[in-house]
Chain A
Amino acid sequence: MTLELESLRIEFPTRRGTLVAVDGVSLSIAPGEVLGVVGESGAGKSITGMAVIGLLEPPGRIAAGRVLLEGERIDNLPHERMRRIRGRRIGAIFQDPLTSLNPLFTVGDQLVETILTHLELTPAEARTRALALLKEVGIPAPESRIDHYPHQFSGGMRQRVVIALALAAEPRLVIADEPTTALDVSIQAQIIALLKRLAREHGTAVMLITHDMGVIAETADRVAVMYAGRIAEIGPVREVLRAPRHPYTVGLMGSIPKVGAGAGKRHARLAQIEGAMPRLTAIPPGCAFNPRCPKRFERCLAERPELVRSGANEVACWLYERDAAQPR
């Protein structure tokens, strides 16, 4: 496994008590695999990604659990050692390509700097590699574009440059946090295809964090659905999207408008989940989803469900307790 999270718990101590942003999250990503992490804002998906690359904003801290990169524990490393892992072994792609790039340097300078930091190459070799990278991410005429500044690129092209930067040192793991959210649909498809191809070709594990189920459906091999800092359901993407088990996943899938389905039919209603995700200050006891769940019963109010196997998926829901108890 390239990445393993074991019962990760992330806390934010505040004056009014400790907020638990991520609570007991365990998952793993194999080489070449794309794991999608979906959830609504505040579900803890970005915080999980930040914890993996060691960039949690203080006072946020990992309170319990472990992060393993290729079997090696990385959550307790000193800053300096973590800094060397970041970029070299873990690459990162963020939502807004404009803030990920330095406006004062050409994209070539930024690529060469990254390559020289992590790999033992001469500047000339680094530039050759930078050109090859730009070519690989599909920038036309890289020989002339390499000396351009970020503002001279369009949004989609900038995100390609960011991907090239993330891949510059051939990392084993890439954390992609909403990489296509700021882009138009037609560009989105190009970036998704690029990300997927690169993960396959280089055997890179990708943690794809997004709120967009469509992007997950296109890119991910497996998907983890997060709710209020916990994993509600995790499994192969086809299985989770087509046969969701957790009532939250069912509601989430039902609330996504489908193209063409009932187009022009007047007054069709979407399935809706009542209410909103709880604030971190007020996570209900038992299952965090219970106030909004149409299928809740007494046990959901009192006891917190752990992930249990149901078919190909794992679900944190008391409804599936019986399935798991049966001998397989």
Chain B
Amino acid sequence: MNATLLSLDNVGRDFDVSRPWLNRVLEGAPRQLLRAVDGVSFEVRRGETLALVGESGCGKSTVARLIVGLYAPSRGRVEFDGVDTASPEAARLRGRMQMIFQDPYASLNPRWRVRDIVAEPIRVLGLLNRKDEIDRRVAELLRQVGLTAEDGEKYPHEFSGGQRQRISIARALSGNPEFLVCDEPTSALDVSVQAQILNLMTDLQERLGLTYLFISHNLAVVSHIADRVGVMYLGRLVELARAEAIFARPLHPYTRMLLDAIPDLEMSGKPRTPVAGEVPNPLDPPSGCAFHPRCPHANDRCRTERPKPIRRAQSVVECHAVEEQRI
């Protein structure tokens, strides 16, 4: 069996955000492309949790959607278990990967009973046919995520946010997937409920041997759940390393900045480096390294030449300053 479950090779995705055709003709406005994801490559190994972090607009959710096939890549290749997800054979990959969304209020159909929501992937994928088999499987799934079989009779509005997220997880698991793409699964939840969901996800991974791609903006959550962490900035993957390495020895200046920006709960009195500036407009990304306008280590090369991924002991990082050993 192949150790790599998913691989992205130089994947990019553009969105056409041009003005309408008539405006372009009359006003001579050019076509405008937004590079949401630009040259991202990484692999996810079987049984691990890879987390992608970054601020809003960095392209992390677009990567999630590219992987599950909600978007087609504009450039590059996404392979799942050796099969190109853009190829016709990709149809049989359906069910092997599932997605959990951020907002458990928007991702469950309010007019369906929970048992129908959870049973839908089973029916669509044709995993089971007899009604009693499906009912038994749904009850088992609900118990697996900490609900009861009787909860299947209820509607989503009868549940709290945390319980709804459990329903989303049960639905994702009903297709017997190997791989779950979780897009900010806990960011709409309160901290105590977030802890319950994170613990549940950890338990399920252990029990079912799942592989997770975990998208989040919360570095504390990521540091808790991930084996490896990728940091994205303006559509690019600027650093990818094992979790312990990224939190102990961040290399890329942006990763360092993100880590410095986390509020210090221990109140050790460690001075927090104020972060300068904001994420630039993705429609007009800076030349060279996208981070250079905010980077304290930027030089002329950073302003003109886009850094290539370089390998360091435990990390892959895109930064001239690291390559030249200036930092």
Contacts and interface: CB of A to CB of B under 8 A. Distances in A.
A259 B223 contact: yes
A261 interface: yes
Interface string A256-267: 111111111111
A40 B224 contact: no
A185 B220 CA distance: 11
Nearest to A187: B278
Contacts of A217: 263-265, 267
Q: Which of A189, A193, A211, A212 lies at the interface centre, i.e. has the most chain B CB atoms within 10 A of its CB?
A: A189
Contacts of A326: none
B190 A211 contact: yes
A29 B181 CA distance: 45
Contact of A189 (B196, B217, B246, B274): B274
Interface in A191-219: 192-193, 211-215, 217-218
Contact of A215 (B162, B263, B267, B272): B263
A148 B163 CA distance: 44
Interface string A41-61: 100000000000000000000
A186 B261 contact: yes
B191 A214 contact: no
Given A185-B262, A270-B224, A238 B267 contact: yes
A282 interface: no
B128 to A, nearest CB: 30
Contacts of A264: 226-227, 242-245
Interface in A269-297: 269-274, 276-277
Interface string B265-293: 11100001011001100000000000000
B248 interface: yes
Contacts of B223: 257-263
A241 interface: yes
Contacts of A272: 192, 195-196, 199
B258 A260 contact: no
Contacts of B202: 267-269
Interface in B232-251: 242-248
A150 B250 CA distance: 36
Interface in B74-118: none
Among B56, B195, B199, B274: residue with most chain A CB under 10 A: B195
Contacts, number: 143
Contacts of B247: 259-260, 263
Contacts of A258: 220, 223-224, 265-266
Contacts of A237: 267
A258 B247 CA distance: 11
A226 to B, nearest CB: 12
Q: Is the interface of A mostly helix, strand, loop or mixed?
A: loop
A215 B220 CA distance: 14
A256 B196 contact: no
A95 interface: no
B9 interface: no
Interface string A219-262: 00000000000000000011001100000000110111111111
A24 B199 CA distance: 35
Given A255-B191, A263-B244, 16 more contacts: A40-B191, A41-B161, A184-B279, A186-B258, A189-B263, A214-B263, A242-B267, A255-B192, A257-B221, A259-B259, A263-B248, A264-B226, A267-B205, A268-B202, A270-B224, A272-B192
15 contacts: A185-B55, A214-B263, A217-B267, A218-B272, A238-B267, A255-B194, A258-B223, A259-B219, A267-B202, A267-B206, A269-B199, A270-B195, A271-B195, A273-B196, A274-B196
Interface of B: 55-56, 160-163, 190-196, 198-199, 202, 205-206, 217-221, 223-227, 242-248, 257-259, 261-267, 272, 274-275, 278-279
